[in-house]
Each structure stands twice: as C-alpha cells, then as structure tokens.
Structure 1
Amino acid sequence: MITRRSAALAALAVAAATLTAPSAHAADASGTSEPTAATSITRNEVLARTKFWFDRQVPYSQARTYPDPQGKRYRTDSSGYVSMALNLPAPGRNTQGLADPAITKKITKAELQIGDLLLNRSKHVVIFAGWANAAKTRYWTYEQTPPRVKNRTVPYPYFAGNGKFEPYRYRYIK
C-alpha cells in the first residue's frame, strides 16, 4: 500500500531529476537554443518550406512571427525566414548565428546549389534558388525583405551597396 509520504517522496524525486537533468538544448552566441543533434533536410524540403511562406506572401517584420507548415512560429525577417526554410528551432537564428561553423560552412560560387545561402553576416541572408543565366552573374533567390517574401533574380553576390555577401551551405543538407 502506498502511503502519502512515499507518494510525496516519489513525486519529489521525479521533480528533482527533471530539474537537474542535462538539457537537450545548448544556448548559442545568437541567444537561441539549438538541439544538440542537428536536423538533416533535403534541398527539395528547403525549397518546399521557402514556397510555403512565399505562397502566403508573409509580410516582413523584425518583431512578428509566422508559422511554418508544422505550426512553429519564426521571426518574419530574413534570418527567421532562412531558419524556417532549414527547419532550425523557432523563432530562428540571426544572421551572425546562421554563420556559426557548427551550422553552416563557407563554400565557393562554383559549389552553389539550390537551398544554399548568400549571407551578409551583419545584415541580410537569402536562399539560392538557381542560376538565372549561363554566365552565372545573376541568380534566383527567395528572400524575406520589405514588404514581403520575394522570389526574384539578383546580381551575384547581391545588389551593390549592400555589403559583402558570401555563399554558405547548411551542414546538414542532403
């Protein structure tokens, strides 16, 4: 027979174990919390996720959030959009956090594939959606920029006067 005292002790033991158990997440420099195990994603999945917001013409905001296909809410700025597309934890990393070597790696222009990123660490990030010309001087992009998500061609690496954009690849893309 279980007494009140043994039931209370059991509940206290469960609570103590929960409070002292190691976290399944680790805080990073961007102030977000990342899972300790990376989530892999295919290039087709990235593209499908980008189109989810594009089809809904999600407005740009650094203060608001919008759900992904599973209902997780991400910031509706450029880095939140890219975080959503890569299925990173909500509400998403900032541009500096997306450049974290644990998450992405720098690549060359010649290595760019659909689902890769062009990133200005202090300003903006876009999703590479393919070359727009044979000379590889323009490319298709999905990006979250005022007033809303856009799919357009831009000059490589990005419009003049916007700082240094470099190609990156999510480490867990297939």
Structure 2
Amino acid sequence: MNRRFHRWTVPALAATALLGSLTLAGPAAATAPLDGATTATATQEDGLRAAAPKITRAEEIRRARLWLTANGGKPVPYSQHKNWKDGYRQDCSGFASMALRLPKSGPNTVALKNDGWTKPIKMSELRQGDLVIKANSNDPNHRHVVIFDKWESGKKSYSSYEQAGHVGTRHATHSYGLKSGDGYHAYRPVNLSD
C-alpha cells in the first residue's frame, strides 16, 4: 500500500510543481507590464511637477487676483466642466493651479493634496499662498481648496482667494480647518520659491 501511494505521489507532486511554477510565473509576467505602466505614470507625474515652474508667493497672489476681474471686470464664473480663456478649469482646483502656474488645466483637489504638488503643514504655519484643502470626500461637490492670504481676528479666521460655486472668483473670510473635524487641512505648494 505504501508503494501505491508512493507511485501516485511522485507524478502528482511533479504535476503540482509544474502547475505551481506556471501559477507563480503567470502573475509575475502579468505584473511586469503593470509595474512598468505604474512607473511610467509616476514618471509622467514627476515630470509634470518638475515642469511646474518655481513661483514666489507674491506672484501667486498677483495671479489669483487676475480672476477677480478677468470676466469683463467681473469674476471668472465657476464651472467644473469649462476652462477659462487661459486654459485652466474654472473650479477651485483649476483656480489654485492657475495661480501656482501648474500644468493646464490643473490637477483636481484630490491630486493637489495627494500627488506631490503640496506637502502637509500645520494650520498655524500657514503663510500667504499656502493652500487649505478638503479632499476626503467621494463627492466632488464636497471638496474644496482655497489660497490662504492672511490671518484675521487673532487667527480665528483668515482671508483667502477661492473659486466658489454660484459665485466665481472671490476674496473672502473663512475658518476652514480651524474647527476640529471639518475635513480641511493646510498644505504648502512645493513649487513655491520663498
């Protein structure tokens, strides 16, 4: 009985070894192109970030102010689907991208936060030109980014530039990120030169 078991075990083990090696080789071969594609995408994103020119905070704010009157003396209207004459999307992240001279039409709010365009900082470290971002929502209508301008009321609020729904470009006072749990956090654009 041991011999019979042994006779069937050797071929079974050989077949299992062959199938195992094919199984192991299959995913490796399949993931090689995917890994290459992922690397290519990461390289493309790195290239885009490298293509974003260095900009001073003063230049960023000057550019943000342009949209306050760029529409025949009125603010640029808000749209998640249209680009303004300068090639940037007319939503909040397109506006921030325009002000920072990022590649057109601009990364969206989630990409501004997650894809290396910014780095997280504390709210107390905000300086003119930094961003306050809410990106942790599956609904694009509940994401937002504003460009910090200056502190107001003993740091209980601040003024900022933004592209807001139903309003367009505006300079307004906010307290986003100053209340625990509202989902807003401070970020510093990596292409700022000062």
TM range, smaller chain:
0.7 to 0.9
- 1:81 matches 2:99: no
**Aligned 1:11-160 pairs, distance under 5 A:** 26-28=43-45, 34-56=48-70, 57-67=75-85, 72-100=86-114, 102-121=116-135, 122=137, 123-134=143-154, 136-147=155-166, 148-157=168-177
Greater helix share, structure number = 2
Aligned partners of 2:92, 2:157: CA distance in 1, in Å?
Answer: 20
Aligned length: 142
The offset of 1:159, in angstroms, is 8.3
RMSD of equivalent CA atoms:
2.6
Structure 1, unmatched stretches of 5+, are 1-22
Q: Percent identity?
A: 37
User: 1:26-61: per-residue Cα shift (whole Å, max 9, x none)?
Assistant: 5449xxx82534421000001001000012200000
Greater strand share, structure number = 1
Aligned partners of 1:94, 1:149: CA distance in 2, in Å?
Answer: 17
Larger radius of gyration: 2
Aligned partners of 1:155, 1:27: CA distance in 2, in Å?
Answer: 36
Contact (CA 8 Å) 2:77, 2:90: kept in 1 or not? yes
The offset of 1:172, in angstroms, is 1.9
Moved over 4 A (4+): 158-161
The offset of 1:143, in angstroms, is 0.5
Structure 2, unmatched stretches of 5+, are 1-39, 138-142
Q: Could you tell me which amino acid in structure 2 is paired with residue 66 of structure 1?
A: W
Residues 35 and 168 of structure 1, relative CA distance in 2, 3 Å threshold:
closer
Partner of 2:19: none
